[in-house]
Amino acid sequence: ARASYGKANPESQKIHTESLLTLPGGTTRNVVHFKPFPVILESGRGSYLTDVDDHTYLDLCGEYSAGMFGHSHPVITKAMHSAIDSGFALGGVNRFEGRLAKLFCDRFASIEKIRFSNSGTEANLTAIALVKAYTKRNTILVFKGGYHGGLATFSKDDKVTANSMNAPHNFIVAPYNDIQALEEIVAQHKDDLACIFLELMQGSSGCLPADIDFIKALRAKATEVGAVLMFDEVMTSRMSTGGLQKLIGVTPDMTTLGKYFAGGGQNFGAFGGKTEIMSIIEPGHPGGAYHSGTYNNNVTTMAAGVAVLEQVWTEQAASDLYNMGEWLQHELQRVSKEAGSTLKVTGVGSLMTLHFSSKEVRSAADVQASETTVRELFFFDMLKKGFYLAQRGMVSLMTVTTKEELETFVEAVRLFLVERKEF
């Protein structure tokens, strides 16, 4: 598969050899790199991507969920252009940021006050620092397989830092979806427990939803020991206009956000929650925590965000996208079953991961134990057929993608499965 891939992508290979290797590993984002070299993307339009060798792909990666409205959405593009035409970062307060903050506070039950930052990673690390200052405690409880950004990943074992450079916080890593282990760990650390921090569905680890009972247990435990319950909804907030927390019906004390809210073309991060917690970053707050950043309120991000929330990301858009995702998951499961394949689909709504595993997939360890060679073959087969997925098999739907387009993907998956009966 790799040999024919090299032949089909000469320009990507040339660029890779000529200049990309000045970046460690040939990339500035480890997640988008793959061997022998990644296709180099030239442009995106709506639901399609084109690479430098002139191949066109249906974009199922959706910029790892950030590109939820497709490429160069006209409403968002217009808002960004008009903001840029009135000056770049203005060095003060602009007319968009308050409006954007209010839109979030109106939509998320858990967010009374909000602050913006430049990425999900930054939002998470800042929110953790804030919560430590608020509780005057240091320990942060996270879960095996959790991903909270390029500096906080908890993948391979229970030790802090498995495969990432770790942020300087006191993380304790608990097993995921395990209420008994939770009770033991919380009992052990309760006096210094500042925060319980959870992805409602572990995205990067393979779209692994948290059990409702587990989430409820976290809510109860946090309240019992005086820790802050914080949900990382950087990816999952797309499940409704009020996040996955709204569908699940559990309200955290703090929520972090990122990705698509600035339209997919601009960097974005945000953290928000109870006024009592958030107010300690107010200027002049005694014992407060300082929060600032040159680009926190950059006008293109803020203007794009206002356009997204006021015009694009409506209740209807959110429920349509969720339903399309559920339909796609169902269709993929159907073709897998009909082909007698090991393909398993995990996820919620418009975010899903395709695994090749004979066992049910519920945890990061199950994903690691799945058939990664088949996954790689599948990835290259899909690329060849014109479907661009995240290499790890994640599909992140965009609002502009049609059911007819997704039907062509389902058919390509079906053919892959029936042609290779052994999977």
C-beta pairs of 336-341 under 8 Å, 24+ apart in sequence: 336/417, 338/414, 339/414, 339/417, 339/418, 339/421, 340/421, 341/417, 341/423
**Of 5 and 154, CB closest to ligand PMP:** 154
β pairing state of 208-209 and 41-45:
unpaired
Q: Among the candidate windows 189-197, 230-238, 361-369, 380-388, which touches ligand PMP by CB under 6 A? A: 230-238
Q: What is the rounded CA–CA span in Å between residue 255 and residue 349?
A: 20
**Of 235 and 309, CB closest to ligand PMP:** 235
Q: Does 350 bind ligand PMP (CB under 6 A)?
A: no
**Of 50 and 119, CB closest to ligand PMP:** 119
Instruction: Give me the 158-177 binding string for ligand PMP, x by CB under 6 A, dash otherwise.
Output: --------------------
Q: What is the rounded CA–CA span in Å between residue 274 and residue 103?
A: 16
Q: What is the rounded CA–CA span in Å between residue 286 and residue 290?
A: 11
Q: What is the rounded CA–CA span in Å between residue 45 and residue 50?
A: 8
Task: Please count the CA atoms within 13 angstroms of the CA of 276 that sit on its side-chain side.
Answer: 4
Q: Does 209 bind ligand PMP (CB under 6 A)?
A: no
Q: Does 121 bind ligand PMP (CB under 6 A)?
A: yes
CB of 121 to ligand PMP, least distance (A): 3
CB of 146 to ligand PMP, least distance (A): 8
Q: Does 71 bind ligand PMP (CB under 6 A)?
A: no
Q: Among the candidate windows 18-26, 118-126, 219-227, 302-310, which touches ligand PMP by CB under 6 A? A: 118-126
Q: What is the rounded CA–CA span in Å between residue 302 and residue 389?
A: 29
Q: Does 305 bind ligand PMP (CB under 6 A)?
A: no
- The pair of three-digit structure tokens given for residue 3, joined into one six-digit string: 């040999």
CB of 145 to ligand PMP, least distance (A): 11
C-alpha distance from residue 388 to each of 44, 59, 145, 384, 405 (Å): 12, 5, 24, 9, 13
- Which residue among 38, 44, 62, 149 contacts ligand PMP (CB under 6 A)? 149
Q: Does 234 bind ligand PMP (CB under 6 A)?
A: yes
- Residue 168 CB: number of other CB atoms within 10 A? 8
Instruction: Give me the 264-303 binding string for ligand PMP, x by CB under 6 A, dash otherwise.
Output: -----x----------------------------------
Question: Contact positions toward ligand PMP, by CB under 6 A?
Answer: 64, 119-121, 124, 147-150, 199, 203-204, 232, 234-235, 258, 269
